[in-house]
Structure 1
């Protein structure tokens, strides 16, 4: 009987500990999301970028080509199924490789994939998608930045790619594409509950001096400051 009571106490403490951790995590996410990093003041208006969400995940969207850079030189149209070279915008997102390649919808989510992602047990990938247009909406917000800020954003994104011995980004050959105009690439760093796809996007905004959360694991934190 004493053994059963001891086991029950351990289980109860474990459950309460998990509940307390989840509540603390959500409270921290809320507080650090509404606490903002303000945008840099008095900069020129040179480049239009966008933040785009599918309801859970935030992409940073950039013009494919302008006077500063041509993203298609490395993130080649040839790596997409369509090989369509007319895309004018490129949406770039970072995330867990298992989520990207094995979980096209939440219905496909496996427990093992979620655990690996939450506890940094998997590798990461960059998902790049070409678009013909980028209409603004509640889920797509335009941000105007300077050329100097844009160069810093480029550096941030470039530093997120894993590269081969020759310095080239590494295309992931897969049939798990979301549509005909996207491709996946190997990325640095591991996804975890404290550094999510949205944390990466939030840090991308910080890198180019834009309004951002102090920290957020969720897309709602980012868009709170732009809606």
Structure 2
């Protein structure tokens, strides 16, 4: 509920863009509309194998997390203690990207209505998190995904108990000039911060 610092973003009177936040029991992802601009900015992820060009794809899901924990195969209850300890104390970060088709009519998730300038800044903030090779290509990881279409990519930064996947969401939004809480370590903190800074 305490506002975090915002990056400056120029004012913009163009039509707004709607993005969403989508939650699992322990984790929030950003959900971005697969507009032509989104597809073009993430073209190198498509070249790495992410099916952005699938005509059924309407949304791009992006999340950040601990490499060892996030890429663990199997349910959360089967995560080894050593993997959990590594995530708590410090681990390399990864980005997970997936494409999603039309959302069900009854789908309920937090919505953010932002300006085109904020959306451009948000795409920049996400792309800056990717580690790139000498040819400026994203680095897909040989890890099993959660779906038939998702991929993990090497990312910058370190994950630990005070710098979680959920704090990444708030940091990334604030880098785009979108008001959000200073520290959101849990899914409930993200939910509360959204309700506080973006009521209605």
Do structure 1's residue 129 and structure 2's residue 133 form an aligned pair? no
Do structure 1's residue 36 and structure 2's residue 3 form an aligned pair? yes
Q: Which runs of no fewer than 5 residues in structure 1 stay unpaired? A: 1-33
Q: Distance in 2 between matches of 1:170 and 1:222?
A: 28
**C-alpha offsets along residues 18-61 of structure 1, whole Å, 9 cap, x if unaligned?**
xxxxxxxxxxxxxxxx3235999x75442111111112111111
2:133 corresponds to which of 160, 164, 174:
164
Q: Structure 1 pair 54/137, CA: closer, same or farther in 2 (3 Å)?
A: farther
Q: Structure 1 pair 205/104, CA: closer, same or farther in 2 (3 Å)?
A: farther
Q: Which has the higher helix share?
A: 1
Q: Structure 1 pair 202/190, CA: closer, same or farther in 2 (3 Å)?
A: same
Structure 2 equivalent of residue 225 of structure 1: 193
Q: Structure 1 pair 127/68, CA: closer, same or farther in 2 (3 Å)?
A: closer
Structure 2 equivalent of residue 9 of structure 1: none
Larger CA Rg, structure 1 vs 2: 1
Do structure 1's residue 141 and structure 2's residue 110 form an aligned pair? yes
Structure 1 equivalent of residue 60 of structure 2: 90
**C-alpha offsets along residues 99-134 of structure 1, whole Å, 9 cap, x if unaligned?**
1111542212111111111111x2111100100123
1:208, distance to aligned residue in structure 2 (A): 1.9
Q: Which runs of no fewer than 5 residues in structure 2 stay unpaired? A: 196-200
Note if contact 1:77-1:84 (Cα within 8 Å) is conserved in structure 2: no
1:216, distance to aligned residue in structure 2 (A): 1.6
TM-score (ref. length: structure 1): 0.74
Q: Counterpart of 2:20 in 1: which secondary structure?
A: strand
Greater mean alpha carbon deviation, residues 191-200 or residues 71-80: 71-80
**C-alpha offsets along residues 51-86 of structure 1, whole Å, 9 cap, x if unaligned?**
1111211111112223466245122176259x8453
TM-score (ref. length: structure 2): 0.83
Q: Distance in 2 between matches of 1:199 and 1:43?
A: 27
Q: Structure 1 pair 155/116, CA: closer, same or farther in 2 (3 Å)?
A: same
Note if contact 2:58-2:100 (Cα within 8 Å) is conserved in structure 1: yes
Structure 1 equivalent of residue 120 of structure 2: 151
Q: Structure 1 pair 52/137, CA: closer, same or farther in 2 (3 Å)?
A: farther
Structure 2 equivalent of residue 73 of structure 1: 43
Q: Counterpart of 2:162 in 1: which secondary structure?
A: coil
Do structure 1's residue 49 and structure 2's residue 49 form an aligned pair? no
Q: Distance in 1 between matches of 2:42 and 2:56?
A: 11
Structure 1 equivalent of residue 198 of structure 2: none
